[in-house]
Amino acid sequence: MSTEILHGHAEVVSEAHGEHHEGHHHEESFISKYVFSMDHKMIARQFLITGIIWAIIGGLFSVLFRLQLGYPDMSLPFLEDIFGRWAQGGRITPEFYYALVTMHGTILVFFVLTAGLSGTFANLLIPLQVGARDMASPFLNMLSYWFFFLASVIMFASLFIQTGPAAGGWTIYPPLSALGQASDGSKLGMDFWLISMAMFIVSSLLGGLNYITTILNMRTRGMSMTRLPLTIWAIFFTAVLGVLSFPVLLSGAILLLFDRNLGTSFYLSDIVVKGEILPNEGGSAILFQHLFWFLGHPEVYIILLPAMGMVSEVLSVNSRKPIFGYLAMVGSLFAIAILAFLVWAHHMFVTGLNPFLGAFFVLLTLLIAIPSAIKVFNWLTTLWRGNIRFTPAMLFAIGFVSLFISGGLTGIFLGNSTLDIHLHDTYFVVAHFHIVMGVASFFGMFAGVYHWFPKLYSRYLNNTMAYIHFWITLAGAYLIFWPMHYEGLAGMPRRYVDYSSWESFKMFADLNRFISTVAMIVFAAQLMFVFNFFYSIFKGRRLRTENPWGSNTLEWTTPIHPGHGNWPGEIPEVHRWPYDYGKDGREFIPQTEPIGKDESAHH
């Protein structure tokens, strides 16, 4: 009896929801359609385009500091024309260099690969792939974008402050970041950084709550959890990681703001700056590192998991084969999500962590290799003997697997605390995380953009440019980051503006110049992608069929131009898992097709 009542209640709730969205088909004003939109698809586009703009800015910064690293004795007058005293004499000043590196990291980690990636694809794919008319709360979803926008505005504004933006590295360790007198980059720019990140955390929280709730509560009839596409599983774990780890960064940032502005001593103790003895005592700089990396490590998986999910989907669709080991894929995502919370101190092996404690973090860190290896194995076996279609999305997905293997292997080196004594804060770490997180996640994102562009804009991206984009980016990524491993093994530390006066690293001058040159070429290739993106929105080849890739998932059952509410009639019912490719002699069987009478059992 009681279950019946409860059941009725649930029905009422989901029905009330359906009604709410059906009412949206009438004419909308420009503002409510394009600006303060509550349609998840429009919000996805907003996140994507904001992310692209940020990626151009962040990428440009890397070109500038690579210029400095490749040509330490250059003198380019035009730099001074543009940046004034930041590039006095046509050279990038140390302050400018640190500001560039810091902003590059902050922008790409948070604004592009977190908000741009999750924001875009969680918004686009969750309702479409679970079969819902929109997010659980379209209003909070809209707020999530606008908080991100606000964070963006603040961060962008910080670039124009007289003393410059934050410049203590993307990890903003105190005491440097806590003391305005310590450097220009620790003055007003640092406050802007912290406030912007606080807004960013609100945005990611609002988004994450929506993603989790929508995935758990709003799946269409028949869409059991084990029939969810792996994209959705990946986004689900991403959102859980975000909801539980970002608040800890918020605490850390608030305490840092207090140290900066109210004279507290949370992170400060016994400090002398420029001969002046500061009154602060009793704080701990290590405390900040714990708070930061408790977010920081989950954060790297927040960046990676959505890419993994999309790659799984794209690989399976374009191999025309079921994903190998669906449950193992879900299980390994779960294992990664749990372990992500238990390894943060591997970033602190040499910053005063008790070596005994370090041993446990070594163990837990190395355990991550197991679920990672399971995933790699399953991707490769999905490809194995597949009927592969090398679409641009597929190439990027394969590229992702390659990069993930390369970067994951170097992680195992770093995870050993003894080896890390040598490798910490060298270019080896830079190479490791750029390959495994930076470039790999970008590849996942590109795979997603090329694959779902037809759903986003009802047109295709240009293929020729796409292939050029892929090969330059793949070759470039390895050419840039592979040599950095050698530099790091040789002990070359990161975060120095000039290595030429350093006897041990002089020999890398040519190598650095080579890396910088490739970096510029790769950046140009990304601009070509951006051109392709915007050109194709308006002029691309039109989408003429609902299901261009012969895909099983629900988003391809919507009309070519889906309205707000996604499906014109009833929401489709789901009868099978999403990976019935090449089954019983049929190329693909959409999830909406009921199981046939004499169909063979799946797997």
Partner 1 sequence: MSTAQAQVQTKWWGGGKSPFNLEYGKVMMWYFLMSDAFTFGAFLISYGTIRFSQNYWPDPNKVFNAFPLMGHANLPLAFVSLMTFILIVSSVTMVLAVHAGHNMDKKGVVKWMAWTIVGGIAFLACQAWEWTHLITGEHAVLIDGKIQEIGTTVSRNPWGSEILGLEHGEHHVTKTGPVAFGGYFFGITGFHGFHVFSGVIINIIMLLMATNDVFERKGHYLMIEKAGLYWHFVDLVWVFVFLCFYLI
224 contact, one of Cu ion, ligand HEM, partner 1, none, CB 5-8 Å limit per kind: partner 1
Residue 171 within binding range of partner 1, rule CB under 8 A: no
Which of 420, 487, 555, 580 is close enough to bind ligand HEM by CB under 6 A? 420
Member of 136, 161, 179, 480 binding partner 1 (CB under 8 A): 136
Q: How far is the CB of 164 from partner 1 (least distance, A)?
A: 28
297 lies in the binding site for Cu ion (CB under 5 A): yes
Helices 138-158 and 188-217: angle between axes, nearest 10 degrees:
160
Decide if residue 300 touches ligand HEM (CB under 6 A).
Answer: yes
Pick the stretch among 85-93, 163-171, 248-256, 295-303 that binds Cu ion (CB under 5 A): 295-303
Could you list the beta-strand ranges (E) of 75-154: none
Spatial separation of the C-alpha atoms in residues 591 and 228, rounded to whole Å? 10
Instruction: Give whichever of 19 and 503 is closer to partner 1, judged by the CB atom.
Output: 19
Among 118, 280, 332, 372, binds ligand HEM (CB under 6 A): 372
Residue 158 in contact with ligand HEM, rule: CB under 6 A: no
Q: Of 484-523, which residues contact ligand HEM (CB under 6 A)?
A: none
Two tokens at 544? 């003429």
The answer to the question of residue 250 lying near partner 1 (CB under 8 A) is yes
Residue with tokens 């929508």, as numbered in its chain? 214
56, 195, 244, 479: residue in contact with partner 1 (rule CB under 8 A): 244
Please give the residue whose beta carbon sits closest to Cu ion in the complex.
Answer: 297
Q: Which is closer to partner 1, CB of 208 or CB of 408?
A: 208
Rounded Cα–Cα distance for residues 252 and 599 (Å): 56
As a whole number of angstroms, the distance between CA 44 and CA 555 comes to 14
| CA angle at 290 for the pair 289 and 295, rounded to the nearest 5° | 95
Q: Which stretch binds partner 1 (CB under 8 A): 6-14, 76-84, 119-127, 417-425?
A: 6-14
Which of 567, 573, 565 is CA-nearest to residue 19?
A: 565
Rg (CA), the chain: 25
Restricting to residues 199-228, which ones interact with partner 1 according to CB under 8 A?
Answer: 205, 208-210, 212-213, 216-225, 227
Asked if the peptide bond before residue 371 counts as cis, ω within 30 degrees of 0, the response is: no
Tokens 């758990």, residue?
Answer: 216
Query: For the chain, percent helix, then strand, then coil, each to nearest 5?
Result: 70, 0, 30
Q: How far is the CB of 248 from partner 1 (least distance, A)?
A: 4
Provide the terminal-to-terminal Cα distance of the chain, rounded to the nearest Å: 38
Question: Based on CB atoms, which residue is closest to Cu ion, 167 or 333?
Answer: 333
d(CA 159, CA 173): 20
Q: Which of 408, 448, 483, 562 binds ligand HEM (CB under 6 A)?
A: 408
User: Considering the rule CB under 5 A, would residue 434 count as an interface residue with Cu ion?
Assistant: no
Comparing CA positions, the residue from 335, 433, 340, 321 lying closest to residue 379 is 321
**Beta carbon of residue 415, minimum distance to ligand HEM (angstroms, whole number):** 3
- Taking the C-alpha atoms of residue 97 and residue 107, their distance in angstroms, rounded to an integer, is 15
Minimum distance of partner 1 from residue 346's CB (angstroms): 19
The CB density around residue 525, as the number of other CB atoms within 10 Å, is 18
Q: Give the span between the Cα atoms of 267 and 175, in whole angstroms.
A: 7
Nearer to partner 1, 283 or 488 (CB): 283
Residues 6+ apart with CB under 8 A from 307: 117, 400, 440, 441, 443, 444, 445, 447, 448
Q: Considering the rule CB under 6 A, would residue 347 count as an interface residue with ligand HEM? A: yes
3-state secondary structure of 277: strand
Whether the Cβ atoms of residue 130 and residue 233 lie closer than 8 Å to each other: no
Separation between Cα atoms, residue 573 and residue 219, nearest integer Å = 10
Binding mask 13-32 for partner 1 (x = CB under 8 A): xx--x---------------
Q: Which of 125, 248, 339, 497 binds partner 1 (CB under 8 A)?
A: 248
- Region 435-474 residues binding ligand HEM, contact defined as CB under 6 A: 436-437
Decide if residue 376 touches ligand HEM (CB under 6 A).
no
Comparing C-alpha atoms, which of 260, 251, 249 is closest to residue 182?
A: 260
From the list ligand HEM, partner 1, Cu ion, none, which binds 125 (C-beta under 5 to 8 Å, kind-based)?
A: none
- Cβ of residue 141: shortest distance to partner 1, in angstroms? 11
Residues ≥6 apart with Cβ < 8 Å to 64: 92, 100
**Residue numbers at the binding site for ligand HEM (CB under 6 A):** 171, 300-301, 303-304, 346-347, 365, 368-369, 372, 408, 411-412, 414-415, 420, 423-424, 429, 432-433, 436-437
**Residue numbers at the binding site for partner 1 (CB under 8 A):** 1, 3-4, 6-7, 9-11, 13-14, 17, 130-131, 136-137, 140, 205, 208-210, 212-213, 216-225, 227, 243-248, 250-252, 254-255, 258, 262-266, 279-284, 287, 291, 294, 573-574
